[in-house]
Amino acid sequence: MNTNLETFKYDNRIVRAFAVATIVWGIVGMAVGLLAAVELFLPAATLNLPFITFGRIRPLHTNAVIFAFVGNGMFTGIYYSLQRLCKARLFSDFISWFHFWGWQTIIVAAAVTLPMGFTTSKEYAELEWPIKIAIAVVWVAFTVNLIGTILKRREKHMYVAIWFYLATALTVAVLHVTNSMTMPAGWFKSYSMYAGAQDALVQWWYGHNAVAFFLTTPYLGLMYYFLPKAANRPIFSYRLSIIHFWALIFIYIWAGPHHLLYTALPDWAQSLGMVFSLMLIAPSWGGMLNGLLTLRGAWDQVRQDPVLKFMVAAVTAYGMATLEGPLMAIKTVNALSHYTDWTIAHAHGGGLGWNGFLTFSMLYYLFPRLYKTRLWSVKLANYHFWLGMLGIIFYIIPIYVAGITEGLMWKQFNKDGFLQYPNFLETIIQIVPMLRLRAIGGTLYIAGVLMMAYNLYRTAKAGQFEPETEVQAPALEKTPEPQGKYAFHRMLEGKPVFFTVLAVVAILIGGMVEIIPMFLIKENVPTIASVKPYTPLEVLGRDLYIREGCLGCHSQMIRPFRSETERYGEYSKAGEFVYDHPFLWGSERKGPDLAREGGKYPDAWHYNHMDDPRSTLPGSIMPRYPWLLTQKMDLDSLPARLRALRRVGVPYPAGYEDGQAQKDLQAQADKVVANLKQGAVTAEPDREIVALIAYLQRLGTDIKAAPVAPTSTMTTAAK
């Protein structure tokens, strides 16, 4: 029957290129994470260099491990398995290499711009707009290569892994574009099109789905390929894999608001996010059980084979993280866990365990096959496994303890009804030992990765790389489709315009069902009359706050709990953030919330605090920012910044940036300088510190100036 047997070659070169990039960027990204971890208990580790302060390298760490390490890992595994599952070479060699070099260029651009302080401040989407555009272009290239390969496949059935790859490519594109809507104000500065609560919702819709469709679906696809391969037995239930795939992708996209529980986001959106998050347990565990049960009767192999060891630990970590995640999305649990290190522990359980270990497993599987040899040292791989496990344990357990400690201390009242720990710093000093232990865990984990790099290097040296694997397969024959049953769908396929119209109608109906209530319910768009746009000096100060990554440690969102209103003041309302492009609510507190910082301390206190936080707060873990005292503010860019802000809806009068803004800025700067003088500090009015102080003193003061206006603002968050 196989009269039309075709001979073709799988491309192994591109797989090797991505694999090497995975290892290199993995080591870099984790090392940056370790530096960030050390800085949290040893602030002097920044050496007073702006480029390596925690605020700037935290986004570098997250971007590097997510998009460089896991991203390259994903492409390695997809390009290896896709060719074999489709029985076809990748669609285009040119696109493959464009994809590879494009992605590495983006990573290098990120590694340069983030330490320089070019950031949008939106988590996992920090890169500025020219790089965002490059990401979109390269992602489209990847998608074309993926779909092109699928179209020319010689295997009619699309194995379940391919479905996971497709969902990844499509959804990440939509997420990236939606969250990247930004108005440029120069080459490396832009303002989010959305403001305040709206920006927060878009950001966490994106942020959560980055976890879902960048860290989860592609890796589940890899699990469905490499786990059966490594164990040499079929997946436990192919039927379950299909069901949990479709369930997972349909539910995941709605769970984003669980990152904003008890914030100024409307309650209904919070509840929606919580409910969908809880539903996610089922499809997530479908995947985990399917993976683990595949090893029924094969556990003896797990004992011997490091590939399977890493795989089993990875799938188990996936199961734990996807049970914990929905639990953390329950509002009462989140009230304790949010803003604490608990979130960091959760993220690293998933990141180090699921993504890290699955990547290592895949690399140990691939290198001997690409190089036609044995793994150089199984023993060393086993040491890596146990060192990695110890690393994870030493990382997450202290951080869980730290998180719960922080959460409880923040909420503790004494018997007289006052906060037990009114000084925020007390709660940080309490967890410093945990932060030290965490760095030890991280060190162990990286040591394991270095062992792997050496082991794989020796494996490559010992073997002979096979650049292309020649295989034969029959061409895919067009099977004649049965009449009648498929007639309607065939008709649709033959009429693309008609099909598009039907799809648009379906979108519009669904959209309107949701949109009409939105316009009817006024509480969703609360406004407060006394909230005004930032002054030009405050705009520059706010941009410095963004540049230095202050929101890595300081939230600007007071939740409606007595413990928070006692500590920080009136809880935050959505109407206070209508001019915040982007929103700066933050997701972590390693320092106190700053939403009502304005007026709490004199200007001179802030000046001294930025110069050396330990001069004002002994024991503080905040880095020094001496360069803010000497660097001049970027006045030349002010007109472009104000224009961009006006374009996204901030009501600065027309022509304001051509003279009047500069005068206003000068006057306010002089006022700050006069205030500083009263505190025995002499400063020039054109230094960055002046702008930052102006911004900090503005925070949260708008609603102090006038009584809180309409009652509609109160109803949403008061519960």
Partner 1 sequence: MSVVIILILAGLLVGLVFLGAFVWSARSGQYEDTTTPALRMLADDPPVKIDKTNITLK
Which residues of this protein are in contact with partner 1, per CB under 8 A? 84-85, 87, 155, 157-160, 163, 166-167, 170-171, 174-175, 178, 194, 197-199, 201-202, 205, 225, 228-229, 232-235, 238-239, 242, 246, 249-250, 253-254, 266, 269, 301, 304-305, 307, 368-369, 372-375, 378, 471, 486, 489, 503, 506-507, 510-511, 514-515, 518, 524-525
Nearer to partner 1, 484 or 655 (CB): 484
Q: Give the shortest CB-156-to-partner 1 separation in angstroms.
A: 8
Q: CA dihedral in degrees (167, 171, 173, 177; nearest 10)?
A: 180
| 413 phi and psi angles, rounded to 5 deg | -105, 150
Of 158, 26, 27, 135, which Cα lies nearest the Cα of 81? 158
Nearer to partner 1, 33 or 266 (CB): 266
- Beta carbons of 384 and 452 less than 8 angstroms apart: yes
The CA distances from residue 633 to 54, 496, 665, 671, in Å, are 22, 55, 11, 16
Q: Give the shortest CB-393-to-partner 1 separation in angstroms.
A: 27
Q: Across-strand partners of 192?
A: 182
**Tokens encoding 375:** 């793994």
Nearer to partner 1, 257 or 591 (CB): 257
Q: Give the shortest CB-161-to-partner 1 separation in angstroms.
A: 8
Nearer to partner 1, 117 or 266 (CB): 266
Give the separation between CA 392 and CA 404, rounded to whole angstroms. 18
Q: Give the shortest CB-403-to-partner 1 separation in angstroms.
A: 29
Q: Give the shortest CB-713-to-partner 1 separation in angstroms.
A: 13
Amino acid (1-letter code) at residue 506: A
- Beta carbons of 70 and 215 less than 8 angstroms apart: yes
Nearer to partner 1, 365 or 395 (CB): 365
- Beta carbons of 209 and 248 less than 8 angstroms apart: no
**Tokens encoding 233:** 């037995």
**DSSP H or E stretch at residue 608:** helix 603-611
- Beta carbons of 126 and 114 less than 8 angstroms apart: yes
Nearer to partner 1, 369 or 671 (CB): 369
CB atoms within 10 A of CB 686: 15
Q: Give the shortest CB-252-to-partner 1 separation in angstroms.
A: 10
Nearer to partner 1, 253 or 279 (CB): 253
Give the separation between CA 587 and CA 339, rounded to whole angstroms. 5
**Tokens encoding 500:** 């598009």
* DSSP strands (E only) in 391-540: 468-474
Q: Give the shortest CB-155-to-partner 1 separation in angstroms.
A: 8
**Tokens encoding 165:** 């790859």
Name the DSSP class of 413.
B
**DSSP H or E stretch at residue 177:** helix 160-179
Q: Give the shortest CB-469-to-partner 1 separation in angstroms.
A: 9
Of 691, 685, 700, 661, which Cα lies nearest the Cα of 538? 691
Q: Give the shortest CB-310-to-partner 1 separation in angstroms.
A: 13
Q: Give the shortest CB-633-to-partner 1 separation in angstroms.
A: 32
Amino acid (1-letter code) at residue 61: H
Q: Give the shortest CB-439-to-partner 1 separation in angstroms.
A: 34
Maximal C-alpha separation, the chain: 94
Q: Reduced to 3 states, what is the DSSP secondary structure of residue 167?
A: helix
Nearer to partner 1, 13 or 369 (CB): 369
Nearer to partner 1, 515 or 667 (CB): 515
- Beta carbons of 223 and 78 less than 8 angstroms apart: no
Nearer to partner 1, 81 or 555 (CB): 81
Nearer to partner 1, 468 or 684 (CB): 468
- Beta carbons of 241 and 290 less than 8 angstroms apart: yes
Q: Give the shortest CB-235-to-partner 1 separation in angstroms.
A: 5
Nearer to partner 1, 433 or 467 (CB): 467
Give the separation between CA 412 and CA 415, rounded to whole angstroms. 10
Amino acid (1-letter code) at residue 42: L
